[in-house]
Structure 1
Amino acid sequence: MAENTCVRCGAIPPSHDVVSVASADGSFRLLCSRCFNTEMADLAEVHAFEHPEFTPVRLSDADGVVHEFHFRSLLFGDQLSLEAFEPVPGDDDYAGFRFQVLGDPRSDPFELLGNLVQKMKRALAVKHLVEDAGHLVVAETTVRGRIEWDGNERDRLPCVVI
C-alpha cells in the first residue's frame, strides 16, 4: 500500500491532502481530506456538506516573484478551515508560504476563498526581511512567521519560519 493511501476510499492523494486521524483505540489512520470532511460532517451533524475543491492560484509578492498556492479544506465540527500553501519543489509540502481562514461550514466556500485570497494578497505585499550588509534583517517593526520543526527526524528542534 502506498505511503499516502486513504484507508477509507483507497485514493492516493498528494501528501499535502492527507490527514492523520487518531482513533478511539489510540491507533492512527490516514484519510484524504474529502474522506476526513465526510467523517467530520457525520460526527458534527453538518447535513449536506459538500467538500470544496479549488484550482491553484498564482500571486506575486512585493518583489514581483510569482508563487503558486494550493488549497485544502478541513471541516472541524462547527468551523471550516481553508488553507493555502505554497509547495516548494524538493522540500516538504509546507516549506513555502501558508495562510488559513476559518468560516462557517454552511456558508458559501467561494466567499471564504475570496477572503483567503485577499488575506494572501495583503500579506504578500509586505516585505518582512531585507538584506543589509549580506545579512537578513527585519524590514519594519512587524514580522510574521510560524513555528515549525527543523526537518531533522531525530532531533525535531523547533524553528521559526518568517
Structure 2
Amino acid sequence: MTEQTCVRCGARTPPYDTVNAASSEGTYRLLCSRCFNEEMAQWADIIGFEHPQFTPVRLLDADGDSHEFHFRSLLLGDQISLEAFELAGNDESEGFRFQILDESQSDPFDLLGKLVQKMMRALSMKHLHEDGSGLQVAGTMARGRIEWDGDEDSRLPCVVIDGKRVEWNDFGAMLMSFEGWQFRLELLDPSDEA
C-alpha cells in the first residue's frame, strides 16, 4: 500500500487515513485525518478537540475466522465519525466496514466501545453459505453494502456481504433460488444498525 503525503504537515500516511478536503477556492488538498480534524475543529469553533487514535483490533466472525480492523475518526462539524474497516489489499470494495456517528464532544472511548459492540453483532451473523454451486443466500435475508465494481465503463455495483465482494450478476444468480418471492429493499446510512 503506497503511502501518501499530507500537504499540511508532511506526514507519510496510508491512503485509508487521508481525506481529499475541499478548500474555499474550490481546490482539493490531501490531508491526513489528524490535520483534517484540526481544520474542522477550527472551522466549527470546537475548542480542545483531541484527535483520537486507536490501535487495530482482531475480532472473530461466526465461523471463527479472525478479522483485523483499523480505525479512523473524522470530525464532521458538530458530529464525529468513527470508522472500522478491514484492509483487503488495494481493493476497498472488500472486507467488513463499520461506522458510528455521535456528537463531536463525545468520549472517543465510549464511541469505540459502541462501535466494537456493533461490529461483534454483525460478525456473529452469516448471510451467505457455500454449497456445491457456490455462494448462496443463507436463510431469507442478506445484509451488506453497495460498492463500485471498479470498472470505469460499467454502471453496475457490486455488493459486499459477510465481508466478501459479490459481483452484481453473481448476486442476481443467488436470488434466482427465490424466484417468485417478494422482497423488501431498505437502504441504510453506513452509521445505522443494519
Q: Which residue in the other structure is 2:139 paired with?
A: 140
Aligned residue number for residue 37 of structure 2: 37
Is the Cα contact below 8 Å between 2:72 and 2:83 reproduced in 1? yes
Secondary structure of 2:81's counterpart equals strand
Deviation at 1:133, TM superposition (A): 2.7
CA distance in 1 between partners of 2:12 and 2:84 (Å): 20
Q: Is the 8 A contact 2:20 2:30 kept in 1?
A: yes
Q: Which runs of 5+ in 1 are unaligned?
A: none
C-alpha deviations, 1:40-95, integer Å up to 9, x for none? 11111111000000010000000100000000000001110000000013x32452
Work out which of the two has the higher radius of gyration on C-alpha atoms and give 1 or 2. 2
Please give the TM-score of this superposition, normalised by the length of structure 2.
Answer: 0.77
CA RMSD of aligned residues (A): 1.7
For 1:61, the equivalent position in structure 2 comes to: 61
**Residues 44 and 77 in structure 1, CA contact (< 8 A), matched pair in contact too:** yes
**After TM superposition, where is structure 1 displaced by more than 6 Å over at least 4 residues in a row?**
none
The answer as to whether partners of 2:21 and 2:29 remain within 8 angstroms in 1 is yes
**Alignment length (residue pairs):** 160
Contact 1:86–1:94 under 8 Å retained in 2: no
Q: Return 23-32 or 75-84, whichever deviates more.
A: 23-32
- Residue 84 of structure 2: SS of its match in structure 1? strand
Structure 2 CA distance, aligned partners of 1:88 and 1:119?
Answer: 20
Report what 2:86 is aligned to: 86
TM-score, with length taken from structure 1: 0.91
Aligned partner of residue 55 in structure 2, secondary structure: coil
